[in-house]
Amino acid sequence: MDFLEVGKAFDAFAAGEYTFALVAYSAAGAEMGRSAIRVVVGEPGNDVPEPATLALAGLALFGVAAANRRRRH
């Protein structure tokens, strides 16, 4: 099995790229199907926004909606 690296374990806190593969073989040893998942840990730009940032964005949208409503009436 060429897709496995002996000694390399998945660590959710270590930056890197991990690929998990599920391979199905026939009784004769022929590959019948393959499914793979790629997991990237520590990639820049994948951060979850902080609650304060979301609150500020919501407040800004509320202000825009209120100003728009005030102009109409």
Query: 18: Cβ–Cβ under 8 A, 6 or more apart, which residues?
Result: 10, 38, 39, 40, 41
The domain containing residue 48 runs over which residues?
Answer: 16-72
Look up tokens 């890197």; give the residue: 16
Residue range 44-65, pLDDT digits in tens: 665 666 788 888 888 999 999 8
- Is residue 7 in a domain? no
- Is residue 4 in a domain? no
- Is residue 66 in a domain? yes
Q: Is residue 28 over pLDDT 70? A: yes
**Burial (Cβ within 10 Å: 0-12, 13-18, ≥19) of residue 41:** middle
Q: How many domains does the chain have?
A: 1
pTM flag (> 0.85): no
The CA-based angle 48-50-56, given to 5 degrees, is: 125
